[in-house]
Amino acid sequence: MIALLRGLPDEERARLAPETLTREPSPMLAVLAPEPFSDPEWIFEPKLDGERVLAVCDGGELRLVSRNGKDVSGSYPEIPDALRASWRVGPEEPTDVGCHAALPAFVLDGEIVAFEETITSFSRLQERMRIDDPVKARESPVPVYYYLFDFLHLDGYGLVEISLRTRKHLLKEVVSFSDPLRFTPHRDGEGEALHREACRKGWEGVMAKRASSSYLHARSSEWLKLKCVNRQELVIGGYTEPRGTRTGFGALLVGHYEDGELRYAGKVGTGFDEPTLERLARRLRAKERKTSPFSSQDARSLAKEDVHWVTPALVGRFGFTEWTGSGKLKHPRFLGLRRDKDPHEVEREVPHG
């Protein structure tokens, strides 16, 4: 066992378990909270608007893995470089399970972001997400940063059963943080104050996490989202014809799954620049179909000549002001495509508790 782990308090060290890494570990996911709160048993972090990524080092390589198991290392080649250069703790004995003689096997959790001035911007990050060639990614004018906030595995031992607070302590011990690697700051107990600050500064919101919680490879109420602005992933099921000088398409028809059916949630016609309209229009035309993917009731209400149906394979991220009483988005706007979410996982977010 690596010296850093041997130095843990007895009760935490007893929770360590020998572990063989899986090829595609899955991240812990949060649920939506009804309102901000404060609690000394919880920690509160900024909610970042980027791409959730696990850094996995084993089997001779260091790779970046999205929440749906896709290797996204080509989009962000500077991140593995920085992790190799900033790692502080070597393996107990060099083995072939690490990703380098000087690096142990590990799994880290975090969010890769780009900034628009001082605010993380998913729209700007799209410019990097569309690149999978590491040479072109290094030439991109969009800098990215990896905000690390959790630690799942180290040198053959799973860390998921030890407390979140201890996992964060270990994370600060193993990584020397400098750009593009950043430690995600957190505040103990004062969730309401941080939420007010977040909303004043234009952040997406705050993450609340129970300080004593284990890491679950699933969605859990031990992690909560406290939002300042409404954002939601939705599935694209169709589009309308452009009008006037508009190119590509007019609006997207979007929805979410409920009881196995794709329920219509409204049209989205804003948030697109010309390159996005052209690029997305090509992808939509390639997925056209004759029948509506929406529930039969929704399909009847949408039966218009200018509607084109598409196979519901693309997931977008959308901002909006609120849900209407009929379950539609009010004042929606397109923020970008998600490449890390299965369409059938897309459900309407509702507050927990």
Render pLDDT for 7-64 as a digit per residue (tens, 0 to 9).
Answer: 999 999 999 989 988 777 899 999 999 899 999 999 999 999 999 999 999 877 899 9
Same-domain status, 207 and 297:
no
Same-domain status, 25 and 124:
yes
Within a domain: 353: no
Within a domain: 163: yes
Within a domain: 39: yes
**Mean pLDDT of all residues in 123-133:** 95
| Residue where a domain terminates, one of 196, 227, 258 | 227
Are the beta carbons of 256 and 67 closer than 8 angstroms?
no
The residue among 210 and 22 whose pLDDT is bigger is 210
Same-domain status, 278 and 169:
no
- As a whole number of angstroms, the distance between CA 13 and CA 154 comes to 13
Q: Which tokens hold the place of 190?
A: 């004062």
Residue 184's pLDDT band (cuts 50, 70, 90): very high
Which stretches of 42-121 are DSSP H helices?
78-86
Residue 304's pLDDT band (cuts 50, 70, 90): low
What's the longest Cα–Cα distance across the chain?
70
Same-domain status, 128 and 148:
yes
Within a domain: 350: no
Residues 6+ apart with CB under 8 A from 9: none
The answer, yes or no, to whether residue 99 has pLDDT greater than 70, is: no
State the pLDDT at residue 188: 96
Rounded to the nearest integer, the mean pLDDT of the chain is 92
Are the beta carbons of 328 and 265 closer than 8 angstroms?
yes
Identify the CATH number of the domain in which residue 299 sits. 2.40.50.140
Within a domain: 120: yes
Q: Which tokens hold the place of 223?
A: 């992690």
Give the pLDDT confidence of 238-269 residue by residue, as tens digits.
Answer: 999 998 888 999 999 999 999 999 999 999 99
Within a domain: 32: yes
Which stretches of the chain are DSSP H helices?
3-6, 10-13, 78-86, 122-129, 134-139, 164-174, 191-201, 274-286, 296-301
Same-domain status, 183 and 144:
yes
Within a domain: 127: yes
State the pLDDT at residue 13: 94
Q: Which tokens hold the place of 208?
A: 């609340």
State the pLDDT at residue 314: 97
Same-domain status, 167 and 312:
no
Task: Enumerate the active-site residues.
Answer: 47
Same-domain status, 213 and 188:
yes
Q: Which tokens hold the place of 232?
A: 């939601």
CA 332 to chain CA centroid, nearest Å = 20
The answer, yes or no, to whether residue 159 has pLDDT greater than 70, is: yes
Identify the CATH number of the domain in which residue 124 sits. 3.30.470.30
Same-domain status, 159 and 289:
no
The whole domain housing 303 covers 230-345
- As a whole number of angstroms, the distance between CA 51 and CA 333 comes to 19
Same-domain status, 289 and 210:
no
Same-domain status, 204 and 237:
no
| Residue where a domain terminates, one of 179, 195, 227 | 227
Same-domain status, 243 and 297:
yes
| Residue where a domain terminates, one of 174, 202, 227 | 227
Same-domain status, 200 and 234:
no
Within a domain: 271: yes
State the pLDDT at residue 352: 74
Q: Which tokens hold the place of 263?
A: 């329920």
Count of domains forming the chain: 2
Give the pLDDT confidence of 318-348 residue by residue, as tens digits.
Answer: 999 889 988 999 999 999 999 989 999 999 9
